[in-house]
């Protein structure tokens, strides 16, 4: 079982990867990048446990391509996450991993997850290298690996950013994605 903050169905290739996916925000992060857009996910306290069986049920019921693992820092739960990633891959599902670690920092559990993932977006977010016009990444130092699996050789589409506004029944608005300064300013008003 992994410990998560929230999960949601997504369909936006620029932000979360190809196809319809289950986006999972894992709870807790030990890295704490300056300027992180999800500092509310740093704490390992609280959260909700989630199993392979529950994930596969959601994927199959909604005809999804796979999961996108976000955080928090997914690899800080490597031992439990490896079991889940193995189950997903053996069921023919794809896995996209967002991690603040670089490959050379990884222990065995973390490295196994990295090697199983179809796409890995890796590296610390660096505020001084922030660029919102990149696919998947928030700063220019971050790297994307498409070393194996369904998306091997995937071509990145940089040059624009995407903001996804979801409007609830009561008019409340939830925003996902990398915002330009213009749109971020607009959202404050």
Binding footprint of other proteins on the chain (CB under 8 A): 12, 14, 132-133, 159-168, 180, 182-183, 186, 189
In the complex with other proteins, the residue whose CB is nearer, 111 or 183, is 183
Q: Residue 36 Cβ, how far from other proteins at the closest point, in Å?
A: 21
Contact 134, 106 (CB under 8 A): no
Closer to other proteins by Cβ: residue 34 or 169: 169
3-state secondary structure of 144: strand
**Are 3 and 27 in contact, with CB atoms under 8 Å apart?**
yes
CB of 62 vs other proteins, minimal distance in Å:
12
State the nearest-atom distance from the C-beta of 47 to other proteins, in Å: 24
* DSSP structural state of residue 139: B
- How do beta strands 66-70 and 21-26 pair? parallel
Closest to 14 in 3D by CA, of 186, 176, 187, 181:
176
- Closest distance to other proteins from the beta carbon of 129 (Å): 15
Taking the least distance from each CB to other proteins, the nearer of 14 and 89 is 14
Please say which residue, 23 or 78, places its beta carbon nearer to other proteins: 23
- Name the β-bridge partners of 25: 6, 70
């Amino acid at each position: 079982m992994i410990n998560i903050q929230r999960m949601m169905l997504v369909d936006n290739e620029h932000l979360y990867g190809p196809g319809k996916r289950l986006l999972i925000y894992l709870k807790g992060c030990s890295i704490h990048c300056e300027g992180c857009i999800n500092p509310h996910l740093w704490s390992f306290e609280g959260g909700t446990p989630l199993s392979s069986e529950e994930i596969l049920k959601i994927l199959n019921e909604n005809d999804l391509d796979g999961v996108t693992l976000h955080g928090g820092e997914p690899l800080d739960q490597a031992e439990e996450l490896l079991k889940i990633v193995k189950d997903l891959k053996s069921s023919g599902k794809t896995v996209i991993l967002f991690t603040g670690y670089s490959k050379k920092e990884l222990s065995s559990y973390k490295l196994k997850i990295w090697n199983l993932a179809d796409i890995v977006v890796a590296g610390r977010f660096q505020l001084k290298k922030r660029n919102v016009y990149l696919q998947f990444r928030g700063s220019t130092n971050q790297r994307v690996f498409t070393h194996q699996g369904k998306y091997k050789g995937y071509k990145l589409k940089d040059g624009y950013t995407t903001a996804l506004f979801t409007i609830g029944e009561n008019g409340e608005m939830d925003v996902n994605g990398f915002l330009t300064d213009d749109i971020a300013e607009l959202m404050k008003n």
